[in-house]
Structure 1
Amino acid sequence: MTGTITETRAVTRDDLEALRADVRAFLRDEIDRGAFEPDVDSWMTGFDPEFSRRLGERGWLGMTIPQAYGGRGRTATERFVITEELLAHGAPVAAHWIADRQMAPGILANGTEEQKQRYLPGIAAGTSFFAIGMSEPDAGSDLAAVRTRAVAGGDSWTISGTKVWTTGAHLAHAMVLLARTDGRPEDRHEGLSQLVIDLPHPDIEIRPLESIDGQAHFNEVIFHDAVVDSSALLGERGKGWSQVMRELAFERSGPERYLSTMPLLRAWADELRTHGATEEQRVTLGTLTARAWALRSMSLQVADELSAGRRPDVLAAMVKDLGSTFEGDLVDAIRSSSGVAARCSGGSRMERLMAQSVLHTPAFTLRGGTNEILRGIVARGLGIR
């Protein structure tokens, strides 16, 4: 069984269009019957386990996981079509998002046979949710400065330290943790390892962090000498840095990096179609649409590179940098051109979407690595000093 995601069969344009039509019809039906209301940034805040389960039943999760592990054995391009439609419609996908996006390929690439059999079927079914244990209070964007430590003790690991900005940890069934297993913090990339930690755990404290919109999907996670089995090690001891770097290509390059505010753009386009548009508004709408299309092409290229087993780290960083900047620019442009006021409650759908967008915008260029850090990755990758 291969440990990487590969294209398993040829897919035609007609196949992709048929799949897209199926997903759109499903989402229109879900919206029409009131199962969800489209929201901005729904992949971060729209936690709906039942919706995730329905996607799993339709075979729209775990698309690239081999069938032997409960997945669909489909292509990364088909998965892209599905995630693109889910994001564009503002569907509540936060419950399964992290697990399906990067934990599944990470476990598939680095996990033991036992770990694959244990975790991958639940991810594909939309019933197993994951958190990412990377960021720390004193590390900021300097991921290599993590101080959380896992000490080996025969048949167990004892973990101490703190993670922060851990999305969905209070609702997750497991966390993939980056910790120092060897050496000192000064050793930087050397001596880091990944572990899969089942949640909840009696010695792991999860504290909610309230964001500016009053929601608490972020968390601080504190490990009070938490003991886990030695089998929790994911991949090779001391190789956590290289594993995480491969994993981050999945995190940084997906369509969520430029489609978080797409429901706002679509709602505005609907209003212009109904009530008419000025020349300036048509230009603004066209410019935003063109930028989104260019970013889509870049993101698709990353998906192709990942499917071929290559490491498109630089292109993934570019997608995240340009995409998250675009998301904020979109909010500013529509707010200026439309004159819509942001209202957290009451008001029109456009006013509520605008409020969500304004409140979420500050996080766009921070999560998944700050844009300043990503530009350094791009510069080094291009040989710029």
Structure 2
Amino acid sequence: MTALHDPRGSSTGVDDAALVELRTEVREFLRDEIDRGAFAPDVDSWMTGFDPAFSRRLGERGWLGMTTPTEYGGRGRTPVERFVITEELLAHGAPVAAHWIADRQMAPGILANGTEEQKRRYLPGIASGSIYFAIGMSEPDAGSDLASVRTRARDTGDTWTITGTKVWTTGAHVSHAMVLLARTDGTPEDRQQGLSQILVDLSHPDIEVRPLRSIDGQAHFNEVVFHDAVVDKSALLGRRGNGWQQVMSELAFERSGPERYLSTLPLLRAWTDHLRETGATAEQRRTLGTLTAQAWALRRMSLQVAAELSAGGKPDVLAAMVKDLGSIFEGDLVDAVRAASGIVARRSGGTSLERLLGQSVLHTPAFTLRGGTNEILRGIVARGMGIR
């Protein structure tokens, strides 16, 4: 299936021919990787496909840290050029989980709010595919109420002493560092006020990482417990008390990318290949056409976010819309292929298509939860549109 990959480029301020050349280069690299057995396409690969060697190969090609300035080891390219690369990686089901969070939102977050020391310490490693990040936001018993943060970082002079628990922390067991949202001032009743971000190295002896197994038996989620962990005062990211505003800016990167509607595209591609080989009924062709049209519309929305980021904008509302609609589409795609194909989903054995369907079925429940539940996102959209 190639309908999602627009060779014509778009009106994003980037030369269309350059985008086509970049996309072609990435496709050739990925096809070679698949042909030589370096990886097999998987669904939801940006969450579960942890392969440090693959991440380093991307870094060597200059395909990480794309929007980071060259002085910090990046490439100084645009969000639209980065979009082209990430879209192809996801469409091919490449194992990108190791570097994903660091490259997606921590690089721009540190670039926007970090000290010079923090930029020099973390950004080159992110761009080379050798430093991985987790995000410490969600907490036990809080649900989607992110503002009810109870994890506390106490000011102890030259240090912060951190106590509390974060949960559903993707990749914490394999990450080098975490960006932690903690309360430095006030009480939980102060809500968004008094929150700060702190960069914490996860090798700390007083930080405990406990794996949480999901329905498919994997443990890419974690509970992270801070047992009075002491970190240097310089670990503060940005301004004290400005954590909520910084997190909201970073969420535009987290919620708007193509991973919000392409997690299950490898399944759709595999089914398309299957139909090409076996023939498709009229109903199957209608299903395929409908799914392709929906994905295309979501792609245009996501690409618009990338264009606005390139122009220096803050497309928070549009990003929330992309995440809401995209995560629903990912699940609908699984249901549609399952119903239209008549194929039995399998966790192991069988054909690649059966295995991809099995993976997709097990991962679907998380789609509308991660990155903010859809109900919360709709509230963000409503407020952004002035609806009370």
Secondary structure of the structure 2 residue equivalent to 1:341: coil
- 2:358 maps to 355
Q: Which amino acid aligns with 2:303?
A: L
Is 2:126 aligned against 1:106?
no
| Counterpart code for 2:73 | G
1:345 and 2:348 matched: yes
Match of residue 315 from structure 1: 318
Alignment equivalent of 2:292, drawn from 285, 289, 292: 289
Corresponding residue for 2:283?
Answer: 280
Structural RMSD (CA): 0.8
Q: 2:245 & 2:117 partners in 1: Cα distance?
A: 22
The one-letter code sitting in structure 2 at the alignment partner of 1:13 is D
Find the partner of 1:92 among 95, 103, 107: 95
Distance in 1 separating the partners of 2:340 and 2:98: 34
What residue in structure 2 maps to residue 4 of structure 1?
Answer: none
1:42 aligns with 2:45: yes
Provide the identity percentage: 81
The aligned runs of 1:109-148 (5 Å cut-off) are 109-148=112-151
Q: How many Å apart are 1:138 and its aligned residue?
A: 2.0
Q: Specify the alignment match of 2:79 in structure 1.
A: 76
Amino acid across the alignment from 2:57: R
One-letter code aligned to 1:266 = R
| Cα deviation code 1:121-160 (max 9, x no counterpart) | 0000000000000000021101000100000111100000
Equivalent of residue 179 in structure 2, options 168, 176, 181: 176
Aligned length: 377
Of residues 199, 202, 217, the one that matches 1:199 is: 202
Tell me by how many angstroms 1:63 deviates: 0.2
Q: Deviations over 1:334-382 (max 9, x none)?
A: 0000001111011111110000000000000000000010011111111
TM-score, normalised by the number of residues in structure 1 = 0.97
The residue identity in structure 1 corresponding to 2:262 is L
TM-score (norm 2): 0.96
Cα distance in 1 for residues equivalent to 2:312 and 2:166: 30
**Shift, 1:11, TM fit:** 2.7
CA offset digits 1:73-130 (Å, max 9, x no partner): 0111110000000000000000000000000000000000000000000000000000
Displacement after TM superposition at 1:10 (Å): 5.6
1:270 and 2:273 equivalent?
A: yes
Q: What is the one-letter code of the residue matched to 1:345?
A: S
The runs of at least 4 aligned residues of structure 1 exceeding 3 Å deviation read none
> Is 1:366 matched up with 2:369?
yes
The answer to whether residue 41 in structure 2 is matched with residue 27 in structure 1 is: no
Given the alignment, which residue of 15, 19, 22 partners 1:16?
19
Deviation for aligned residue 1:309: 1.9
* Secondary structure at the counterpart of residue 40 of structure 2: coil
Could you list the runs of 5+ residues in structure 2 that have no partner in the other structure?
1-11
Q: How does 1:181-192 map to 2 (within 5 A)?
A: 181-192=184-195
DSSP-derived class of the 2:162 partner? strand
Cα 1:10/1:289, change in 2 over 3 Å = closer
Residue in structure 2 matching 1:233, options 230, 233, 236: 236
> Is the alpha carbon distance of 1:280 and 1:10 closer, same or farther for their aligned partners in structure 2, counting shifts above 3 Å?
closer
Question: What is the rounded CA distance, in whole Å, between the counterparts of 2:43 and 2:197 in structure 1?
Answer: 32
